Amino acid sequence: MPVVNVNWWKGAGEQQRRELVEEVTKTVSRIAGCPAAAVTVIVSDVEQDHWGTGGRLAADL
Supply the residues annotated as catalytic. 2
Distance in angstroms (rounded) separating the CA atoms of residues 35 and 1: 9
Tell me the C-alpha to C-alpha distance, in Å, between residue 30 and each of 12, 20, 25, 27, 39: 26, 15, 8, 5, 11
